[in-house]
Amino acid sequence: MIAAEDLVALVRNYNPRTNEALIRAAYDYGRALHEGQFRHSGEPYFTHPVAVAAILTEQQLDDATIVTALLHDTIEDTRASYNDISERFGTEVADLVDGVTKLTNLQLSSSETKQAENFRKLFMAMSKDLRVILVKLADRLHNMRTIKAMRQEKQEQKARETMDIFAPLAGRMGMQWMREELEDLGFRVLNPEGRASIIRRFITLQKEAGDVIHRITGDMRHELEAAGIDAEVFGRAKKPYSIWRKMQEKGMGFSRLSDIYGFRVITRSEMDCYRALGVIHQRWRAVPGRFKDYVSQPKSNGYRSIHTTVSGRDGKRVEVQIRTRQMHDVAETGVAAHWSYRDGVRSENPFAVDPARWISSLTEQFDAEEDHDEFLEAVKLEMYSDKVFCFTPKGDVVKLPRGATPLDYAYAIHTRIGSACVGAKVDGIRVPLWTRLKNGQSVEIITAEGQTPQATWLDIATTGKARTAIRRALREAGRERFVRLGRELARSAFEHVGKKSTDKVLEKAAATLRLQDAQEVLARLGSAEITSREVVHAVYPDLGPADEAEVDAHRAVIGVDPDTGFERAPCCQPLPGERIVGITQRGRGVIVHAIDCESLAAFEDQPDRWLDLHWAEGTHPPAYGVSLEMTIGNDAGVLGRVCTLIGERLANISNLTFVDRKPDFFRIRMDVELRDAEHLHSVISALEAESDVASVNRRRDASLSALPTAAE
């Protein structure tokens, strides 16, 4: 626990004229009243008020606010009364402590009607003295930092309340650093696995790319110095929750996110902000559509900064914020800038806009409003600037993330309505499903019996709920096909390690992988959600995905005499992992066919030419050509995306032929070099998921067989 002298020293650092005696008196009084009280962690309770006061010193707040922090729980949890505090520390402090106490007693996460009334009380208290909410936010921040000592159910309740109310409130009041930390602390409680996953990926990225922040920060400083601009440059990785939210909103995996680093340039003047912008755009390529000038057009909470996103030669995007020192103070502390001190004098910041005006106007506007729900909705529309609130035809409110579409709205109502959606009306006008919804719009969903989710919907939907439901529906629609394919992949994988893919083995794999049953294992294996190696490893850990020696492509087939050559039949193009047989041919050695190749029918009466073959064990190189036939949309960038998808799966395109060209589509034939059947399946699955690929099939043509049918 911070000692009284240390706390006084923290205040004296920014306010040499502080009333040290007042702070010491509050410290001693609070410690005496909380004597014998303990937190859930077992620490003395008074450690909490002291920590809250220390948080407020970081924002350089006045003495009354620091004293209030030390005493904020005394009226609620001890024998102290309003009159006691007023007599000892004055009416100003007593009013602040009383205001914090009333906020603490509000059940902000209660039922809608009661929640609306409590929100009204919250904003009325804030309109009287904003320092009340500053203490309350610091109180919540410290409680979230030490939340592990609480039971899990209570942790989740407090975390949800923090995410829904206190974090957006801190952001709306301009205290962005506090919003980010509150969100991240809540994220740690509500989704620890998701947060840990992002942190692990960050660590991996650092190992692969090195210290990107240090390198880019150095480059920016060099460019600004060369241009004669005096500026500070800071860089950081974005918070895990911020990255997670972006992943959910854009439906992207971590590896596809680009702007996960942020940089700030702090200049001496507003003119230098624009000069710095020019230098950065000259050195790095600006990303179109990602420039915002909040200096000439400030946000309603006083926030001013220039935002731009640039990309370097390696394609990595970074976000850059450019602002002056005064703008930066407002961006970091928000409303606290009104109460902060510098050198013992209340600082005057010309860029700070008093959020009290916003709060006062809100409470005045709804002071006579009897409808609690309308009041609550108006408050949330103000607080959650990153949300969109739409209305059903009956007047009910649906909350969605900004950028949501009518399809997201339909799934937010009910999964059944989303799956049957064929169209939408916004404010009575028929609109496409990809339309971005805006605040206050009325949305009506048009459904039809027999409609099912389409693969293209994944490009339209933005919410996790909608995308999950669409994927599940698509997976179930193709489940039978995936199960059949998965069974063949499992058989091949287990045979590869000398085992059999029995129902009992698959049930064991399901238990280890925490899947419902063997059918689910096969379906996911067939849809490329899991790999055959993962399934084998789940049953036989010692035979799983250990590093295997790479197989020599010239010795890839077992069963052929070492002195005899072999070649893959062009009619079926067999791959490792598929069952194969050989047909001998004089002068050419052995022609290897897939066991289901139609060309083999011509050799049924020549059993002496057949050889029982199988693929060599180990990792095969991507050296086996397979022909794919695709129908793709005739639109800009489609072919490029197709090629990128194939390249991302480490497959090489060796030839490309246009079979047919139409105004709205192309039919193409593409030769791709692959490792095995599983590699092929991974490529096809990725292509099928691309909305502009209408169809993709493996080409097999018995007429391509060059084998003579007569015995030689």
Residue 64, pLDDT above cutoff 50:
yes
Name the catalytic one among 76, 223, 459, 617.
76
| pLDDT at site 275 | 94
**CA atoms of 170 and 334, how far apart (whole Å):** 9
CA distances from 186 to 133, 156, 165, 192 (A): 19, 8, 11, 9
CB-based contacts of 16, cutoff 8 Å, min separation 6: 343, 344
Tokens of 304: 């001013």
Pairing of the two strands 345-346 and 652-661: unpaired
| pLDDT at site 69 | 93
Name the catalytic one among 77, 184, 249, 688.
77
**CA atoms of 454 and 445, how far apart (whole Å):** 16
| pLDDT at site 549 | 57
Give 367's DSSP letter.
T
Q: Give percent of the chain with pLDDT exceeding 70.
A: 83
pLDDT grade for 227, boundaries at 50, 70 and 90: very high
Residue 26, pLDDT above cutoff 90:
yes
**CA atoms of 516 and 153, how far apart (whole Å):** 27
Q: For 131-168, how does the pLDDT look when each residue is reduced to its tens digit (9 = 90+)? A: 888 899 999 999 999 999 888 988 998 998 888 778 88
| pLDDT at site 392 | 85
| 3-state SS, residue 616 | coil
Across 452-579, the runs of DSSP E, i.e. the strands, are 557-558, 566-568
* Residues listed for the chain: 712
| pLDDT at site 171 | 78
Residue 410, pLDDT above cutoff 90:
yes
408-416 own/partner pairs: CB under 8 Å, 24+ apart: 408/437, 408/461, 408/462, 408/463, 408/465, 408/466, 409/437, 409/443, 409/445, 410/445, 410/466, 411/461, 411/463, 411/465, 411/466, 411/469, 412/463, 412/465, 412/466, 413/445, 415/469
Tokens of 28: 């001693």
129 in catalytic set: no
| pLDDT at site 116 | 57
pLDDT grade for 272, boundaries at 50, 70 and 90: very high
Highest average pLDDT, of 112-116, 153-157, 220-224, 477-481, comes from 220-224
**CA atoms of 699 and 670, how far apart (whole Å):** 10
Q: Which amino acid is at 117?
A: E
Structural contact between residues 131 and 65, judged by C-beta atoms closer than 8 angstroms = yes
**∠ CA(50), CA(130), CA(341), 5° rounding?**
65
| pLDDT at site 379 | 56
- How many other CB atoms are found less than 10 A from the CB of residue 649? 19
Structural contact between residues 74 and 37, judged by C-beta atoms closer than 8 angstroms = no
Pairing of the two strands 261-267 and 317-324: parallel
Pick the closest to residue 64 from 92, 91, 87, 102 (CA basis): 92
5 in catalytic set: no
Phi, psi at 166, each rounded to 5°: -75, -40
Report the pLDDT averaged over residues 364-379: 51
pTM value > 0.85: no
3-class SS letters over 281-320: HHHCEECCCCCEECCCCCCCCCCCCEEEEEECCCCCEEEE
- For the chain, which domains are there? 4-189 (1.10.3210.10), 194-346 (3.30.460.10), 386-476 (3.10.20.30), 478-543 (no CATH), 559-712 (3.30.70.260)
Residue 366, pLDDT above cutoff 60:
no
| pLDDT at site 483 | 84
| Position with higher pLDDT, 377 vs 282 | 282
